[in-house]
Structure 1
Amino acid sequence: MEAAPFFSDVDDGPEGGRALWVTAADGVRIRVGAWPADGARGTVLLFPGRTEYIEKYGRAARDLAARGYATAAVDWRGQGIADRLVKAPLKGHVGAFSDYQLDVQAMRAAVAEMGLPRPFFLIGHSMGGCIGLRALHEGLPVDAAAFTGPMWGIAIPPAMRPVARVLSSVGTALGFGNAYAPGTVRNAYVLVEPFEGNNLTKDRGMYDYMIRQTRAHMDVALAGPTLRWLREALAETAALASMPAPDVPCIAFVGSDEAIVDVPAIEAQMAKWPGGRLVRVQAGDHEVMMDTPETRARLFDAITAHFDAHNAARRTTAARA
């Protein structure tokens, strides 16, 4: 592993943020970043969503550090400044969703290399929630998990879902898997969508934060997904929906104004999760970790209270006291 670029000029995270290049088992190079926290009582493995990158979560890392947790985040293959997978770098693409689990394994190796403190906890946002749920099924060693706007389904009108499945499957089979999925943007969302009417956040300051980061480091920009990504995402979310919930304490959050992921799929997943708790964020959009200061404070208070309650190391120490 070697040092990777870390954009401290725009992350607005805790001091000491850094990143490493890590090569996944299939040879794809990804980037793993981390922010320390003085006296941390564990580390949050933060799985970003599609189009996202490490530095976007600098403020989230600051909120977590203030509550006693270090944070590690990842540039998944095909986004951030990890290896892009098709010639047109703005296209969001993946060969198979199972490939993201190779990135999870590489991230775990980097976290060990960085010496981040145990125990580990998971926060998965959007596509990172899909990847994270699969990782839990495959034994990701975390004491507890939290999800925000998890992509356990995509917000496609019911009448259009069969069309999306057929189009993405047939298009990929005919050799058009690298083509943009219909109706998707051809540049970074925050650079083409004005704040008014956006589906990410109600907080203008946070939206400006995303715009500023993307303009300062255009290499992190990502546009819409390809037909292959859509086919693989639909297949993965359907597979996960058919499985029992993992035996990991879980809390999930969904905005009342969520318009990107499928809310009924989140409700169904949490309804079968033993002891799982679903929290509805009033007036929240897709990125509730990047909403108003008041919403973010309540959110991170709830997440870290959940982690504290299931922190095995902390419970053991308390029992010995």
Structure 2
Amino acid sequence: MDLSPAPFFEDVAGGPAGGAAHWLTTSDGTRIRVGHWRPEGEATGTVMIFPGRTEYIEKYGNAAGEFVQRGFAVLAVDWRGQGLADRLLEDPRVGHVDKFTDYQQDVRETLKLAEQLGLPKPWHVIGHSMGGAIGMRAVLETGLFASCSFTGPMWGIFFTPLMKPLSRLTAYWGPRIGLGEKTPPTTSLESYVLIQPFEGNALTRDPGMYRMMQDQLTAHPELALGAPSTIWLREALDECAWLMAQTAPDIPCLTYLGSHEQIVDRKAIRARMANWPSGRLVEIPGGEHEVMMEPPEVRDPVFEEMAAHFSAAANGQTPELAMTR
């Protein structure tokens, strides 16, 4: 694999020193971007961060710092259709994928890069939101991870009772009538954090973290992404249904759910974790979607617990976790 360097916006990442990024080309010719950080000295394993829809490597600079200082190497990826990866439609503001399983092509190239870079094993994965769906399938299909952790995983999508039938109608009939590359009704082509004030946002209760997201996109607007296509919505709904029908993999899993979650389906997460034999669900009272970007009194214990979870899994142990906040 040719290690072709890719841009890495260290000016806004806020992560540990020494971060770098590479371009990768998947089996269908799509170019994606993968970033990584290493600790000083020998790493005790590698944490692979699978971001959510609209996200990008630099958004996880702070999380990378948390794990690097605990002795882990860290890797993060720009999925196809977002970040600096190839955008798949004529309008680059629309998030799109032809098939949800195409993201597994991105996973495969990312894992090949991790091998080539010599990122130390055991490998662990954190899947956030859409990355939780991608990550769960990767755990099921690759057998390469010693443990997994999820934050607000997209194992179902949250809709209000009014919007649920309309959204499903849009997802399954829109592509049939030539609207597959259009965005669903009531959505915007502009980035959520640039049009939604901090007050009333559905991501975080930390104003500093919300401002960081805004500043990153203001400095590098090429990272921004708006609403998904109706094809993406259809594919995401089908993938969630498939994931919920699978038997939970036999590896340790630690999942976080904010009690005020408004983006993914809380019921699906609770149901999935209730049937994960080696799994634990931690609910954050009042928490929003971005658990790793909540205020310090929330996110600091989360990082500490995740690191303990990964270390224990590597040693065949189960750590005691603080189950409440």
TM over 0.5: yes
Aligned to 2:263: 260
Aligned to 1:30: 32
Contact 1:259/1:285 (CA < 8 Å) preserved in 2?
Answer: yes
Contact 2:15/2:61 (CA < 8 Å) preserved in 1?
Answer: yes
Aligned to 1:281: 284
Give the Cα separation in 2 of the matches to 1:157 and 1:121: 34
1:151 and 2:154 are equivalent in the alignment: yes
Q: TM-score, normalised by structure 2?
A: 0.94
Aligned to 2:12: 10
Contact 2:251/2:278 (CA < 8 Å) preserved in 1?
Answer: no
Identity %: 52
Aligned counterparts, 1:224-303, within 5 A: 224-303=227-306
One of 198, 214, 238 as aligned partner of 1:211: 214
The offset of 1:161, in angstroms, is 3.0
Give the Cα separation in 1 of the matches to 2:150 and 2:229: 25
Structure 1 pair 259–196 and aligned structure 2 pair: CA distance change class (3 A) = same
Give the Cα separation in 1 of the matches to 2:315 and 2:116: 22
The offset of 1:119, in angstroms, is 1.1
Contact 2:73/2:119 (CA < 8 Å) preserved in 1?
Answer: yes
Q: Give ranges in structure 1 of 5+ residues lacking alignment.
A: 316-321
Aligned to 1:169: 172
Aligned to 2:84: 81
1:186 and 2:189 are equivalent in the alignment: yes
The offset of 1:257, in angstroms, is 1.1
Aligned to 1:20: 22
Aligned positions, number: 315
Q: Give ranges in structure 2 of 5+ residues lacking alignment.
A: 319-325
RMSD of the alignment, in Å?
Answer: 1.4
Which letter does structure 2 place at the counterpart of 1:14? Answer: P
The offset of 1:109, in angstroms, is 1.3
The superposition leaves residues 167-200 of structure 1 with CA deviations (integer Å, 9 ceiling, x where unpaired) of: 2111112221000112212211110000011000
The superposition leaves residues 99-129 of structure 1 with CA deviations (integer Å, 9 ceiling, x where unpaired) of: 0000000111121222211110000000000
Give the Cα separation in 2 of the matches to 1:150 and 1:98: 16
The offset of 1:286, in angstroms, is 0.2
Contact 1:270/1:276 (CA < 8 Å) preserved in 2?
Answer: yes
Aligned to 1:100: 103
Give the Cα separation in 1 of the matches to 2:160 and 2:140: 28
Q: TM-score, normalised by structure 1?
A: 0.95
Aligned counterparts, 1:190-201, within 5 A: 190-201=193-204
The offset of 1:256, in angstroms, is 1.4
Which is worse superposed, 80-89 or 277-286? 277-286
The offset of 1:66, in angstroms, is 1.6
Give the Cα separation in 2 of the matches to 1:178 and 1:207: 29
Alignment partner of 2:81: what SS? Answer: coil
The offset of 1:203, in angstroms, is 0.4
Give the Cα separation in 1 of the matches to 2:39 and 2:161: 44
Contact 1:143/1:312 (CA < 8 Å) preserved in 2?
Answer: no
Aligned to 1:62: 65
The offset of 1:312, in angstroms, is 4.4
